[in-house]
Structure 1
Amino acid sequence: MTGATTLFTGRITRRSMSGLIIAVLLVTPLEAFAYDNPIVTGTVPLRAGLLLLILLGLRTTRITAVEAGQLFLAQALLSMATWSVLLDFDPNRIAVQTLAYGTILPVCTLLIAPKATRRRWAFLVFCVTLYPAVVRLTPENLGLLAQVIATLLVHGASVAALDTHADRAELAGEMADIDPLTGLLNRRAALNELARGVDRSADDQRSAAIVLLDLDHFKQLNDTLGHEAGDDTLRHVAHVLAAFVRPTDHVCRWGGEEFLVVLPDADEALAIDMAERLRLRLVDVGVTASFGVAEVEAADTVTSWVRRADDAMYVAKHEGRNTVHVARRTDRLTVERPGALGAP
């Protein structure tokens, strides 16, 4: 879970978007050869250059998969519109172009458009791709136009059915990742985010850090006021944490009264600052917690990374609670856990 929801989240990955761009790049020379027109010959290199720039932006993480998808969609619509207006295509080529763009671009739109309105966006793109055929094939080639429309409608119905299935699968996956009490990501989802952090660190040398916190004296609260009060406290803490982090961060319920904050592209200093601000914010709302901070290291696995944060968090408890402790490379817990620390 993040602190904010972006307008364009999309369902496409960098790898799949890169594959789509590479596929289009491979067929671009064939397209230029097939049309054998000076306008096409002049514009195809421009399109190929733009696609290469988009691919480079993806590979260097300068742009997201959704941003790459938007640029890809824009150049494809522009190419289609330009060729349809400027070139004197015969009816068969108009039909082929409409079928090609009308099948690919609406699907691309479904993958990159806002979740709530993606089908509306896809239908709009479908209409844009169909418009040149309607103009160029009317009235002399109404039979060919009808075939094109029928083919695209069948394709669109199939894609809509698959999209509905994807919606249900996506919802089921989201529910499996959500803690029902707090509404935060659960441990299963947290492990996935941690794995991504370890992989990015190993592949791209990108920093990442985690903050593990455990509420102080929570067992005493449960014993004194009851589990309902304890659940209310957990929900309140979850709301405070989720509202306070960056949009790119992930707040998870790690288990019991423990919470984990995954901070992508964050070094140790930023994580310490975040932990300290979270600590003070919880104090403001009448709750204290002990915090352990750990930046991912080159040799880390998910288990070792979390273990270092966990060790640091127990040191913070041993040092008096309501504090932040940082896991160093040589830092290893020397106090007993958890019995020697008393009830958390």
Structure 2
Amino acid sequence: MAPPASNSTDGGALNGGRCIVNDQMGPFTVLYTFVFIISVPGNLLSVWTFIRSRRAKQRSLSVYLLNLLLSDLLLLLALPFKILKDGGAAPWSLMVFHCQASAVTIYISLYASIAFLAFIIVDCYLQDCTSLRSMRLQEVGFSWLLSLVVWLLLLLIMVPNMALPIHPVQEQHYLSCSSLKKDIGLHWHAMTVILCSALFLNASIAVLLSSGLALRKLLGSRREPQLWADSRRAAGSVAAVALAYMVSFVPYHVVRAPYTLTQTRVITDCGTRRQLFLGKEATLLLSVLHLCFDPLIFFYLHKPFREALCNTLPSCRGRGTGEEEEEADGGKGKDAEEEGHQSTL
């Protein structure tokens, strides 16, 4: 074990001239563990419910929700490695494995969730917009193709971070993953951050546009009771998912760019590096929280999921197919029947 770190004059922790940024991970380890324990039952229940409802006619929304669940499961598999490393319970080989593989898997899952949440929000808006229902975004085949493109793009960007060679580093208690990377690895990592930030910006634009248009449609239908009811449901769905999206991912990306400058050694002041690292960990924890709330999104937005769950739970039985669905689907009339959007609210 490395000797204890000492405080330097600039507010950073130094150990033999090396800046230690990750020596305060105890609270984060507890919180990550809590999030993991809370999210496992909900996501396993989601998997089981999706399996139970697999015979339901597939819609574009169900494709995006299923891929969102896949990204959540990927994050659940990688999160224990981060918890062990940050808690100091991992052996050296497992710490290196986390830096090379499981940490990258966390970011693959993170950006997959960003993309699919954006698709879900756009799809919810399109379902209430009769003039745009013919768009290919809502075709099941195109939805699967778009999902495949997202996964392949993320793998193409992220996997080199796993494969590029690393420095042989002496065993140490506080391992910083960036210290393992050679120059080519640091450059690729910086490019990865830029490309993923571009993905986030494009997804955020789609989220903001869909939210704004849904609100505009809601305000424009105030004088027509039936249109108001339909628009209110659509705007509520869009607003709920958009709020979760913004709270989870915007703070992280505010901190991500300056933190990357510490990893690429542009920012070298130890105190600044420590503050940015703690900011990155706090906002990353906020991003991981979506694991706990995604099962609620599945239940709220996906009618076959709701029916399968309610038919299983005695306290809920009968709710998924009763007056709630009739009210939700009643305003759609023949248009909703013809377009096949009865799988949503």
| TM-score normalised by L of structure 2 | 0.30
- Indicate the structure whose relative CO is greater, using CA pairs within 8 Å and at least 6 residues apart: 2
The structure with more strand, counted as a fraction of residues:
1
Which of 1 and 2 has greater Rg?
Answer: 1
Flag the structure with higher helix content: 2
Give the alignment's TM-score, normalised by structure 1.
0.30
